[in-house]
Structure 1
Amino acid sequence: MQTQKLSLKHYIIIGSMLFGMFFGAGNLIFPIHLGQLAGGHWLTAGWGFLLTGTILPLLGIIAISVTRSSGIYDLAKPIGKRYATTFMILTCATLGPLFATPRTATTPFQIGIASHVSASQAPLYLLIYSLLFFSFTYWASRKPTGIIDTIGKLLNPTFLILLALIFGLAFTHPLGTAGTARVTVAYQGGAFLNGFLQGYNTMDALAALLFGIAVVTTIRGLGQKEPKAVAQTAAKSSLLSISLEAMIYLGLIWLGATSLSHFKLSTDGGIAFSQIANALMGVPGEIILAIMATLTCLTTAVGLTTSFSEALHAKFPKISYRAWNRLSCGASLLIANIGLDQIIAWSTPMLMFLYPLAITLIILAIASPLFHNDPAVYRWTTALTLIPAVLDALGAAPAIITHLGWVQQLLAWDDRYLPLAKLGLDWALPALIGLMIGLSWHVIQQGLAARDYKMNRN
């Protein structure tokens, strides 16, 4: 099987495509908001954020490369076909028309337009904006093979130039001193862990599992045919993408912390970013920010829609890629019009449920050569992660759910018996116990098999 050797230019193009697919709505607003919450502890919180916002997505791409999976279903398949199908559908729905894709339209609208129209006019303007937004998304994602041209060569450079302009002004004319900014109560003693959990909101670890299909398709289209070469190219390209993303995250977190000298703590990063842009450049700054936010969110919308459609078409081939694409764009248009705050409120419990399962799956996939991809290790770890993940989802749900009596009883039991429950990490110890049980089972089975083989030979 012949393989085309790729140049540095090819790696940069693939990395640029990955950056455009990863860096979207949440990647702009959540680091800014984190910086305002953490204040003087912005760097500590930033390291926690980078762990889930950059390192984990990189590991996700590596996991797909190591296992040579074609996507999220193949990656989860050792746990069981039904589980893999369910996990894939939930992840696709979260990253697709339920939460992440609608957020790509509502975030730039919130940043660039909402503050300039009245509350009564906002729904109409949001409808018009989201209609145009998802019309372009549908056009750009109608052919999966064209995604590299749409994202890597067109939208990314424009976005990076505009972001560099804002950073340049912020660094040369800082709004304040980040190190002395006030720190909210939650971040006075738990900045790192809170930053870690804030990284969930980017959804990038889940996106890494879904984007694997688009990455593999693009790399093969550039002439890489041999599976090992495809895996190595994916890992190297994703490292370039994630490194750039990490630098931008730290800059945005710092920017949020410095803004506290001029502004009060905002309800979300979109409002804060608009205020910062206005303080640095006036109305032109807000216009630049609106264009920048629209561009970066368009790149992510195209990547999410393409990956959603390809993943579900591969699993359910009777429904065409184009039909899944229409479903994603149409449903995203409808849900976007309920507003950013509602989307974030209802996406949080789903992320608290899916992220522990994604983290353990990524770690297991990377380590799978050590235990010969034994399904028992996957199943024990996942089974003991599942229960606390459900409890985390209930605890992060809107008040209409958390105020239910039976939910409060479950959460009280969770706080009492599972360590780190109040920090949203109650799944960590059960997952570790499940891993130890699975590995022990694997070692015992290997020992029995070796003994039987030896006896049969004798």
Structure 2
Amino acid sequence: MKNLSKKDLLLVGLMLFSLFFGAGNLIFPPFLGQAAGVEVWTAMLSFFITAVGFPILGVVAVAKSGGLANLAKRVNPVFAGIFTVLIYLSIGPCLGIPRAGSLPFEMVVAPYLPQSISKTLALLVFTLVFFMVAYWLSLSPTKLVNRMGKVLTPSLLLLILVMFVGALVKPLGNYGAATGEYVTSPFVKGFLEGYLTMDTIAALNFGIVIALAIKSKGVKDEKAVVSTTIKAGMIAGTLLIIIYSILAHLGATSGGRFGGTQNGAQTLTNVTTYIFGKPGAVLLAVIFTLACLTTSVGLITSCSQYFSTLTNKISYKNWTRILSLSSMILANMGLTKILAISVPVLNAIYPIAIMLIVLAMLDKIFKESSMVYGLTILFTGVVSVVDSLQQVGIKLGFVTNLCDGLPLYAKGLGWVVPAIVGMFLGAVIKSVKEKSVNNKALENSI
């Protein structure tokens, strides 16, 4: 049984890290830190669960299952089709790509825009140029984007390290006071903020990519592939925790100096400008823009490839046009509005993704039982969807009232108890059915 060398294992771990660490991952920890203030590390502990722990487990779960489609089909073939499409829509044209398009505007243009120029018009022009370039690159995504990614990810990491050292030399200040929900429930709030990275959802697509990368290096045994995936995940997870911690610390120390920012991009720009002046902020903005561009190209490419397999009527090239145009339109809502919309959407999808991963990790017990998978996902999905609808002002009468009485529902974690109940109930029904089948077999043999 062949195992990867330490060098190859490190390369796979760095590859997994780069898949997770897009430009968007930069903005949430500093914004969390600024809002959480003195409660930052309580919030970050739970943030690590949903932004690091479950994404790494998701990669392992998909590698063990042989792909997202195989894992989702354990629930139901129809569910597998719908859920996969929802994942691609959320990480692609509905949230992920527009977010990547609006992020650089907040850092590159908005802070330096003269008051005489309309921010709405400037955003339109910026996103038009941005997505025209993204569309052009997506038509033939070859080594250019890969090379840019290999240069930009290390550059971003180096800048983060330099910012951290700069903050030690030129301190921003002490941790500010906690605000909002971080005052009363920082742990729960941090857990929910981890949803915004969308990495647990993305992990369901990355798992098979990592498994194939490991197999391409000569590791064929399935157990060895899974164990190598776990080791690579530990490398990637450790790096993510270190980087997120640095960014959260920078955000927390900036709270007293720069209050009232609307998103993490503004927080990071303020921090960089304070430490290094405008030249440092401009350098960060340029690299950030290029990183967002490569992220957009990667998402447009992967989503176009997937959607082109669903129908022969729309070609890959046409899908790139559709996704680029729709993403540009949505990007013009602005980063703050995109993030506001993403919260209820991710609150609906994320719990389902989490429980799908949990079931996959416990599959030695449940043995792909459609009863266990089906009831767990059904109970989880109903509560998470009802909660998300209620967040946007839509109530479903009796169903919403019933969910309101669930433990932790008011904190956004009402799905936890129903998920456990669904898993337990499914396991009981599975056990009863197996005993019934065994008894009948025994009677027939007598």
> What TM-score, normalized to structure 1?
0.88
* Residue 445 of structure 1 pairs with residue 442 of structure 2: no
**CA 1:279 to 1:148, structure 2 compared with 1: closer, same or farther past 3 Å?**
closer
- In structure 2, which of residues 403, 419, 423 is the aligned counterpart of residue 414 of structure 1? 403
* Residue 207 of structure 1 pairs with residue 209 of structure 2: no
Mean CA deviation greater in 443-452 or 346-355: 443-452
- Residue in structure 1 matched with residue 254 of structure 2 by the alignment: 259
Mean CA deviation greater in 4-13 or 138-147: 138-147
AA of the residue aligned to 1:358 = A
Q: Is the 8 A contact 1:210 1:308 kept in 2?
A: no
Mean CA deviation greater in 253-262 or 306-315: 306-315
- In structure 1, which of residues 45, 48, 57 is the aligned counterpart of residue 46 of structure 2? 48
* Residue 22 of structure 1 pairs with residue 20 of structure 2: yes
Within 5 A, what are the aligned runs for 1:114-193? 114-118=110-114, 120-138=117-135, 141-142=138-139, 149-150=146-147, 153-178=150-175, 181-193=176-188
- Residue in structure 2 matched with residue 335 of structure 1 by the alignment: 330
Mean CA deviation greater in 138-147 or 301-310: 138-147
Separation (CA, whole Å) in 1 of partners of 2:356 and 2:343: 20
- Residue in structure 2 matched with residue 238 of structure 1 by the alignment: 233
| Offset, 1:244 | 0.8
* Residue 37 of structure 1 pairs with residue 35 of structure 2: yes
Measured against aligned partners, the alpha-carbon deviations of 1:112-138 in whole angstroms (never above 9, x if no partner) come to: 211211464434443443344334544
**CA 1:114 to 1:23, structure 2 compared with 1: closer, same or farther past 3 Å?**
same
Q: Is the 8 A contact 1:211 1:303 kept in 2?
A: no
Q: Is the 8 A contact 2:173 2:256 kept in 1?
A: yes
- Residue in structure 2 matched with residue 363 of structure 1 by the alignment: 358
- In structure 2, which of residues 299, 318, 341 is the aligned counterpart of residue 346 of structure 1? 341
Measured against aligned partners, the alpha-carbon deviations of 1:373-423 in whole angstroms (never above 9, x if no partner) come to: 1111001111111221112211332xxxx1x6x4688655533x1111110
| Offset, 1:100 | 1.1
- In structure 2, which of residues 54, 63, 78 is the aligned counterpart of residue 82 of structure 1? 78
- Residue in structure 2 matched with residue 389 of structure 1 by the alignment: 384
Q: Is the 8 A contact 1:13 1:152 kept in 2?
A: no
Q: Let me know the Cα RMSD of the aligned residues.
A: 2.7
Separation (CA, whole Å) in 2 of partners of 1:226 and 1:141: 35
Measured against aligned partners, the alpha-carbon deviations of 1:248-281 in whole angstroms (never above 9, x if no partner) come to: 1111111111112312142211211111111111
- Residue in structure 2 matched with residue 435 of structure 1 by the alignment: 423
AA of the residue aligned to 1:46 = M
| Offset, 1:316 | 4.5
Measured against aligned partners, the alpha-carbon deviations of 1:313-369 in whole angstroms (never above 9, x if no partner) come to: 455466554444443333222321222122122221111110111111111111112
Separation (CA, whole Å) in 2 of partners of 1:356 and 1:251: 27
AA of the residue aligned to 1:158 = S
AA of the residue aligned to 2:359 = L
**Structure 1: 4+ residue segments shifted above 6 A:** none
**CA 1:96 to 1:136, structure 2 compared with 1: closer, same or farther past 3 Å?**
same
Separation (CA, whole Å) in 1 of partners of 2:378 and 2:420: 11
- In structure 2, which of residues 288, 297, 304 is the aligned counterpart of residue 309 of structure 1? 304
- Residue in structure 1 matched with residue 94 of structure 2 by the alignment: 98
**Structure 1 alignment gaps of length 5 or more:** none
- Residue in structure 2 matched with residue 273 of structure 1 by the alignment: 268
> What TM-score, normalized to structure 2?
0.90
Mean CA deviation greater in 241-250 or 448-457: 448-457
AA of the residue aligned to 2:83 = F
Separation (CA, whole Å) in 2 of partners of 1:324 and 1:15: 31
**CA 1:172 to 1:455, structure 2 compared with 1: closer, same or farther past 3 Å?**
farther
Separation (CA, whole Å) in 2 of partners of 1:168 and 1:60: 33
Mean CA deviation greater in 350-359 or 17-26: 17-26
Measured against aligned partners, the alpha-carbon deviations of 1:426-448 in whole angstroms (never above 9, x if no partner) come to: 11111111011011112122222
- Residue in structure 1 matched with residue 375 of structure 2 by the alignment: 380
Separation (CA, whole Å) in 2 of partners of 1:331 and 1:73: 26
Q: Is the 8 A contact 2:262 2:336 kept in 1?
A: no
- Residue in structure 2 matched with residue 11 of structure 1 by the alignment: 9
Separation (CA, whole Å) in 1 of partners of 2:234 and 2:74: 27
Measured against aligned partners, the alpha-carbon deviations of 1:270-324 in whole angstroms (never above 9, x if no partner) come to: 2111111111111112112212422443343344334323443455466554444
Separation (CA, whole Å) in 2 of partners of 1:321 and 1:299: 18
**CA 1:192 to 1:325, structure 2 compared with 1: closer, same or farther past 3 Å?**
same
AA of the residue aligned to 2:437 = A
AA of the residue aligned to 1:349 = P
**CA 1:54 to 1:271, structure 2 compared with 1: closer, same or farther past 3 Å?**
same
- Residue in structure 2 matched with residue 111 of structure 1 by the alignment: 107
Separation (CA, whole Å) in 2 of partners of 1:437 and 1:23: 38
| Offset, 1:185 | 4.4
Q: Is the 8 A contact 1:17 1:148 kept in 2?
A: no
**CA 1:383 to 1:409, structure 2 compared with 1: closer, same or farther past 3 Å?**
closer
| Offset, 1:49 | 0.7
Mean CA deviation greater in 367-376 or 52-61: 367-376
**CA 1:49 to 1:132, structure 2 compared with 1: closer, same or farther past 3 Å?**
same
**Structure 2 alignment gaps of length 5 or more:** none
Q: Secondary structure at the match of 2:436?
A: helix
Separation (CA, whole Å) in 2 of partners of 1:221 and 1:320: 29
Separation (CA, whole Å) in 2 of partners of 1:427 and 1:27: 25
- Residue in structure 1 matched with residue 190 of structure 2 by the alignment: 195
AA of the residue aligned to 1:48 = S
Mean CA deviation greater in 140-149 or 359-368: 140-149
AA of the residue aligned to 1:264 = G
Separation (CA, whole Å) in 1 of partners of 2:292 and 2:5: 29
Separation (CA, whole Å) in 2 of partners of 1:144 and 1:377: 41
